[in-house]
Structure 1
Amino acid sequence: MSDFLLELRSEEIPARMQAGARSELEKLFRREMGAAGVSVDDVTTYSTPRRLALIARGLPDATEAVSEEAKGPPVGAPDQAVDGFCRKTGVAREDLEVREVKGRETFFAVKNIPGRATKDLLAEAIPVIIADFSWPKSMRWGEASLSTESLRWVRPLSGIVALLGDDVVECEVHGVTSGAVTLGHRFHHSGDITIGNADDYAMKLRAGHVIVDHEERAALIRDGARKVAAEAGLSLVDDEGLVIENAGLTEWPVPLLGRFDEDFLDVPPEVIQLTARVNQKYFVCMKSSPSRDGEGDRDREENRLANAFICTANIEAEDGGAAIVDGNRKVLAARLSDARFFWELDQKTPLREHARKLERITFHEKLGTVADKVDRVAKLAAWLTSDARAPNGDHNLARQAAELSKADLVTEMVGEFPELQGLMGGYYVEKEGLPREVSDAIRDHYKPIGQDDEVPTAPLTVAVSLADKLDNLFSFFNIDILPTGSKDPFALRRAALGYLRLVQANGLELSLEQAAQAWGGIGRAKLGTRVAEFLSDRLAVQMREEGVRHDYIAASRDWKGQTDGRTDRIEARARALADFLDTENGANLLAGYKRAANILKKEDWHGIEGEIARTGEEDPLAIVDDPDLKAVVDAKMTERHARELSYTPEPAEKALIDALDKAEPEASRAIASEDFEAAMSALAGLRAPIDAFFEEVTVNDPNEDKRAARLDLLARFRAAVHNVADFSKIEG
């Protein structure tokens, strides 16, 4: 058994590509070894800006000899079939073996494959791995680059180290031959470094001022940045993404703290942090200053951004990094000067005047300008806080916040840093003296953006955020632009998730049919239903990730014959259904329901649903809201039962009738008050009677009156269950 080391050295590999490259290298190595019959267990990959490395532990010295056989056509088959079998297996006809299979002589191809040295297999695999390597972006170089068939790599490939144990695995790729020699740090080490084997690779490179383990470099940056901040009496603003990026930019990381002009702190802290992070890859720090909290003599710590930054050098400088820090300070000062210029320039124009420029920006060719979108959002936000009261709030302030919500898109600052949209609008209206709740609504109306993002709870912010997301959904559904497969160019799934999280976190009850009519006028209820179906699909995905089965969601979606326009109601019903079916009563009731439904389907019996249909009402559950219709149906059913029950019902039959008489009104009252747990509890009372009914009563009695009455009773049982949830959608 031997350990294998592979190092692919090149010019600088972009930091953002290194994690993917490590995964790709391991994947391709395992693929090639698996195809060659070599078992691979322990694989470790490393990356630095100048190299990509892999160490595989415990590879066998050679593969074992194996014998492969394949069954062919019977003896006497046409020559064409036999010759084709020989070509497929690579065995000459005279080498075929003949064996008896089920009394018939049959050809077999047997191939004895000798074992091969792992070293030879690796020599063949390395060029294939390099040639098949997938990079987000790659290049050709040198004279060979004149041909499109030449090797592509992220940057020019300059060296290959390939060692199995202490031996070099000899191969050649694009004029680069493998060996045991690599290079150390670009500035701290000169000359070659000869690697003996996989065990001394990291050690010898460390002696050459290269830390090959990316995780170790990240820890040095993370801990070192915190240390230099603490030494200056500051606290580091944690940024794990920046830690990983700096680890990908350095081979010998050294965090250094510098200072910038305190006057720049007049610029919003998010702008300073983004300027330092995006343009220069710097960390920022916070300082703490005591201030009275107004309650007794207690002090509280109010954290504020400090005029400090931390850069990550790639060398240990003789002057302790003073020159490096000074150079970085000058570059950062220039960037912050630009940011301060934008900040001051934007404030010279009121945000409402900025908003007028939105008339020149197309939102979508079929949906008008961004200004048109703002008008729709403002109208919907005002409706949400007034008529819908979801959430309850000041509709005038909601309209004002919505009207200004997109104005910062045309400011200089957001033009430079699109990530600050919304945030800068909040700052600008605050500077103009508008109410704090308006600035907060503008700042946070894009939230929540992702699954882990903060969910707003301030009423005004919730209203504008809901209106913005609903406008996206209504607008694109109205012109039939929907997500398909993995394609969602207008982020409608994200808008749906944001809507659901806002509704859930704030306990809102909002009808999408009513919202659609408030958005687009009378006649838009069907648009609301379409969006409700889409949202319920997203809700199903969300709840499935929490462990709630998809069929429970499907069983909870219908309300009065169509997809429920309130996702909060779907969710509450699905959770209650999941809890109920997890009990013995629930599981047994489901079994009884399915048995009843199967009998009714086989007999094509509609029961009460048929009576309702004869009233001309298309929606069977509309009787819940129509007293006159309900009276007609009740009268018909009373008349039928009085006529058909011309016999004395059996005890189990009478028990089910009594249980339904009790459960139906209880469940209906619970459903009307949207107490789905109570509705499920009412259904639980039907479990024992329906079990006994099937155990003791013959449904298809020879007596037609008894048969009809009992089928009606099962239809009544089915309707009672359906009034709570559509059990026909439940699997199992």
Structure 2
Amino acid sequence: MAEFLLEIGMEEIPARFLLDLSQQLEKRVADFLAEERLAYESLSAYATPRRLAVQVHGLAERSQDVSTKSKGPSLKIAKDAEGNWTKAALGFIKGQGASQEDVIVESIKGEDYIFVNKHLPGKAADQVLSGLNRVLEAMTFPVTMTWHDYETPFIRPVHWIVALLDQALVPLEFVGVKSDRISRGHRFLGHDVTLAQATDYVEALREQHVLVDFEERRANIRQQLADLASAQGWQVPVDEDLLEEVTAIVEWPTVFYGDFEDKYLSVPHCVLITAMRDHQRYFYALDAKNELLPVFISVRNGNDQHLANVVKGNQKVLRARLEDALFFYQEDLKHDLNFFVDKLANVNEHFKLGTLADKQVRVGALISQLQGELNLDQASYEAALRASQIYKFDLMTQVVGEFDELQGQIGEIYARHYGEDAMVAQAIGTQYLPTTSGGALPDQDAGALLALSDKLDTLFQYFKVGLIPTGSNDPYALRRTAMGIVEILLDRGWELDLLPVFKHLVEAYEGDQELLKQLADFVWARVAVHLRNQSVDMDQIQGIGAAKHLEVGKANYVAHFLKTHKDKNPTAYKRFLEAITRVVNLGAKVQEEAQLNLDLAQTDSEAKLLEAAAKIDQYKISVDALYMYLDNLVPVIEAYFDDNKVNADDETIRVNRLATLKVLTEAVLELFDSRLLINKF
């Protein structure tokens, strides 16, 4: 078994793309080897800012031989009356790269067909691997560059390629660069290194101050942070995204720290942390009381030589940024709350949507409307309503102007400073949650009501002016907005049907039914995504989506309810659907108002079903109660269709029977449309 190494050396790869590209190269190499029938035991992928590499362990010396049998036309088409090969047969033989002597005849279900047996001998591993340039040409990138006269785009200009099969050089050429056994060490600490064999790679580069293994570098940085924290008596929260980013920008990590003046601690700590983490890629430290310390922690791409100069330079850069933050903060505090709120009247949310002040008014009205449905405690409602009058004000502050990722957080801090109630301030602080699918959510009703109303207004306003996502294009993140609506409703457990909410908005702004349908379908698509992530069957999602409501919590509950019953007893579940679907198939077609007359029953089964339909409203109190009531009716429904002709000759009887089915159908459609479920059996 052999070892193979492929390394592509290039100019610095943007950190945010490094891991994905490493995984892509690994997969493409694996696919290439599978396609070429060259067996191996395992793969290792390596990535640094200046290189992508794959090492193949336990590689076979040759690709596998393979014998194939390809089916051609039937013999009566393959030969003419004189027994000569027809054009169809000759074309098939040529297409298989075979000769007429390779043709055999076999019978399938009594009819003869021609076949060609082909034996493809394996190739030597080095011969197979010399085709790896196809892998490099097939790589895809979020951004690309071309250079010199080469038309093939790549993430960054390629400067060297290493391709070694054990000790042997595998000839490759890509964008004018020929493979060699020479790799390059750290840009400043290392030198070029000649690899005698593929297995030398990791250690040879380590000697040249390059840790090629991404996970080793990540673990190395994590340990250095832990050692520093222990030595100094600090707590160092490790932001995993930041750790991944700094791992992607260094080849030989060395952790160091510096400090800044205590005066900057008067600035809200989220500003300081953002300045360090997002703008400078620094970690921060806390003392034993979880108070922010005036220090920063960074990772150098190098060793610890001349580290004092590095610290001094980083302190200078950070001090300038913190000085700006302090200035902006002090300038903001020279003004009262109304100064910022009044400015909202001069700033458009979008040039088609009016001002931010207009948005606050609309959201306040929506909060009042939703309160009528949700009936939250008065304190939460009043806090949400007060928050809606001011909640966008921090967008006018200088701090948010410089650190826009802190919108909402700065609003909460400033609201407390200006004396707003704690619940109001907290609602302002959580207005944008969740910022990602599955992310943190508002943790109190006032904040959830404000965030929900804000998102509903955003969705409606953008749809109203035609700014609707198409395909993968979603420049205003409206899918995330809709998912936020779904997640807030599920988290709070609020029983809120969004259809009447959207209908009210559409009617108030003179919209049409098409707009209402677009909104409902868009939100339901996010509900469907949520349910799929919960392993709910697609047929159940479609059936629930056809129900006559858009109550997210109810849809979620029904989905899991159906899934549980189907998994528990598939036979009983199928019987239930079959019976209910017979009802719905007829009942859904009835247009007339349903008026039940129990005295018109002609059979015992009809009397029972009539009585059941008359009582069904009292079982709509919960999904469980209604489902179990319908489930208990299955034998009655089966007997009903056996004993009674629904479309009776007597019009009075016929109308009463159809009315019975309509009443039951309306109850079923409050949960799901069984017609979309039964088709999957």
Structure 1 residues 704 and 122: alpha-carbon distance in aligned structure 2, compared to 1, 3 A threshold: closer
Does 2:600 align with 1:640? yes
Q: 1:680 aligns with which of 619, 624, 627?
A: 627
**Match of 1:118?**
125
1:362-400 CA-to-partner distances (Å, cap 9, x unmatched) read 433432333332332232234434686356446665344
Whether the 8 Å CA contact 1:700–1:707 is kept in 2: the answer is no
Q: Counterparts of 2:116 and 2:298 in 1: how far apart (Å)?
A: 67
SS at match of 1:218: helix
Shift of 1:239: 0.4
Q: 1:716 aligns with which of 637, 654, 660?
A: 660
Whether the 8 Å CA contact 1:513–1:529 is kept in 2: the answer is no
**Match of 1:182?**
183
SS at match of 1:339: helix
Structure 1 stretch displaced more, 345-354 or 332-341: 345-354
Whether the 8 Å CA contact 1:532–1:564 is kept in 2: the answer is no
Q: Counterparts of 1:381 and 1:56 in 2: how far apart (Å)?
A: 60
Q: Counterparts of 2:120 and 2:164 in 1: how far apart (Å)?
A: 26
Structure 1 residues 550 and 170: alpha-carbon distance in aligned structure 2, compared to 1, 3 A threshold: closer
**Match of 2:172?**
171
Matched residues, percent identical? 31
The amino acid that maps onto 2:206 is R
The amino acid that maps onto 1:588 is A
Structure 1 residues 595 and 435: alpha-carbon distance in aligned structure 2, compared to 1, 3 A threshold: closer
TM-score (norm 1): 0.81
Whether the 8 Å CA contact 2:598–2:611 is kept in 1: the answer is no
Q: Counterparts of 1:64 and 1:579 in 2: how far apart (Å)?
A: 48
Whether the 8 Å CA contact 1:596–1:714 is kept in 2: the answer is no
Structure 1 stretch displaced more, 439-448 or 572-581: 572-581
Structure 1 stretch displaced more, 203-212 or 480-489: 480-489
Q: Counterparts of 2:541 and 2:144 in 1: how far apart (Å)?
A: 46
Shift of 1:108: 5.3
Whether the 8 Å CA contact 1:140–1:152 is kept in 2: the answer is yes
Does 2:339 align with 1:353? yes
Structure 1 residues 675 and 506: alpha-carbon distance in aligned structure 2, compared to 1, 3 A threshold: same
**Match of 2:226?**
226
**Match of 1:85?**
92
Q: Counterparts of 1:516 and 1:592 in 2: how far apart (Å)?
A: 34
Q: 1:132 aligns with which of 120, 135, 138?
A: 138
Structure 1 residues 508 and 525: alpha-carbon distance in aligned structure 2, compared to 1, 3 A threshold: farther
The amino acid that maps onto 1:4 is F
**Match of 1:669?**
618
**Match of 1:211?**
211
Structure 1 stretch displaced more, 81-90 or 341-350: 81-90
**Where do 1:580-619 residues align within 5 Å?**
580=565, 588=572, 591=575, 594-595=578-579, 597-598=581-582, 610=590, 613-614=591-592, 617=593
Structure 1 residues 367 and 664: alpha-carbon distance in aligned structure 2, compared to 1, 3 A threshold: same
SS at match of 1:404: coil
SS at match of 2:164: strand
The amino acid that maps onto 1:314 is N
The amino acid that maps onto 2:406 is L
Does 2:528 align with 1:540? yes
Structure 1 stretch displaced more, 150-159 or 518-527: 518-527
Does 2:415 align with 1:429? yes
Structure 1 residues 639 and 104: alpha-carbon distance in aligned structure 2, compared to 1, 3 A threshold: closer
The amino acid that maps onto 1:536 is W
Q: Counterparts of 1:110 and 1:582 in 2: how far apart (Å)?
A: 47
The amino acid that maps onto 1:55 is Q
Structure 1 residues 497 and 105: alpha-carbon distance in aligned structure 2, compared to 1, 3 A threshold: closer
Gaps of 5+ in 2: none
Whether the 8 Å CA contact 1:30–1:40 is kept in 2: the answer is no
**Match of 1:242?**
242
Q: 2:471 aligns with which of 481, 485, 496?
A: 485
Whether the 8 Å CA contact 2:598–2:607 is kept in 1: the answer is no
Whether the 8 Å CA contact 1:383–1:395 is kept in 2: the answer is no
Q: Counterparts of 1:417 and 1:287 in 2: how far apart (Å)?
A: 25
**Match of 1:293?**
none
Q: Counterparts of 2:567 and 2:356 in 1: how far apart (Å)?
A: 49
Q: Counterparts of 1:579 and 1:86 in 2: how far apart (Å)?
A: 56
The amino acid that maps onto 2:231 is E
TM-score (norm 2): 0.87
Shift of 1:272: 1.0
Structure 1 residues 3 and 356: alpha-carbon distance in aligned structure 2, compared to 1, 3 A threshold: same
Q: Counterparts of 1:680 and 1:260 in 2: how far apart (Å)?
A: 65
Shift of 1:50: 2.0
Whether the 8 Å CA contact 1:95–1:109 is kept in 2: the answer is no
Does 2:325 align with 1:339? yes
Q: Counterparts of 1:589 and 1:707 in 2: how far apart (Å)?
A: 34
Structure 1 residues 528 and 358: alpha-carbon distance in aligned structure 2, compared to 1, 3 A threshold: same
Structure 1 residues 506 and 245: alpha-carbon distance in aligned structure 2, compared to 1, 3 A threshold: same
Shift of 1:116: 1.9
Q: 1:305 aligns with which of 276, 281, 292?
A: 292
Whether the 8 Å CA contact 2:106–2:115 is kept in 1: the answer is no
Structure 1 residues 356 and 182: alpha-carbon distance in aligned structure 2, compared to 1, 3 A threshold: same
1:93-126 CA-to-partner distances (Å, cap 9, x unmatched) read x66646476799876555554432110221222x
**Match of 2:62?**
62
The amino acid that maps onto 2:230 is A
SS at match of 1:482: coil
Q: Counterparts of 1:183 and 1:544 in 2: how far apart (Å)?
A: 47
Whether the 8 Å CA contact 1:124–1:171 is kept in 2: the answer is yes
1:458-514 CA-to-partner distances (Å, cap 9, x unmatched) read 233222211111101222333454333333333222222212222222232334355
Structure number, greater radius of gyration: 1
Shift of 1:56: 0.8
Structure 1 residues 9 and 717: alpha-carbon distance in aligned structure 2, compared to 1, 3 A threshold: same
Whether the 8 Å CA contact 1:516–1:525 is kept in 2: the answer is no
Q: 1:497 aligns with which of 464, 480, 483?
A: 483
The amino acid that maps onto 1:670 is Y
Q: Counterparts of 1:184 and 1:56 in 2: how far apart (Å)?
A: 21
**Match of 1:162?**
163
Structure 1 residues 729 and 209: alpha-carbon distance in aligned structure 2, compared to 1, 3 A threshold: same
SS at match of 1:161: strand
SS at match of 2:163: strand
Whether the 8 Å CA contact 2:464–2:511 is kept in 1: the answer is no
Structure 1 residues 521 and 82: alpha-carbon distance in aligned structure 2, compared to 1, 3 A threshold: closer
Shift of 1:130: 2.7
Whether the 8 Å CA contact 2:395–2:401 is kept in 1: the answer is yes
Q: Counterparts of 2:331 and 2:371 in 1: how far apart (Å)?
A: 34
SS at match of 1:455: coil
Structure 1 residues 439 and 520: alpha-carbon distance in aligned structure 2, compared to 1, 3 A threshold: farther
**Match of 2:553?**
568
Whether the 8 Å CA contact 1:5–1:55 is kept in 2: the answer is yes
Does 2:13 align with 1:13? yes
Q: Counterparts of 1:596 and 1:160 in 2: how far apart (Å)?
A: 67
**Match of 1:300?**
none
SS at match of 2:62: coil
The amino acid that maps onto 1:162 is A
The amino acid that maps onto 2:251 is E
Shift of 1:247: 1.2
Q: 2:388 aligns with which of 402, 419, 425?
A: 402
SS at match of 1:363: strand
Shift of 1:517: 6.4
Whether the 8 Å CA contact 2:613–2:660 is kept in 1: the answer is no
The amino acid that maps onto 1:115 is G
Aligned positions, number: 666
Structure 1 residues 353 and 513: alpha-carbon distance in aligned structure 2, compared to 1, 3 A threshold: farther
1:258-287 CA-to-partner distances (Å, cap 9, x unmatched) read 211111111111111111122221101111
Whether the 8 Å CA contact 2:79–2:86 is kept in 1: the answer is no
**Match of 2:37?**
37
RMSD over equivalenced CA pairs, Å: 3.6
SS at match of 2:311: helix
Structure 1 residues 555 and 587: alpha-carbon distance in aligned structure 2, compared to 1, 3 A threshold: farther
**Match of 1:75?**
79
Whether the 8 Å CA contact 1:8–1:53 is kept in 2: the answer is yes
SS at match of 1:398: helix
Q: Counterparts of 1:397 and 1:592 in 2: how far apart (Å)?
A: 47
Structure 1 residues 658 and 460: alpha-carbon distance in aligned structure 2, compared to 1, 3 A threshold: same
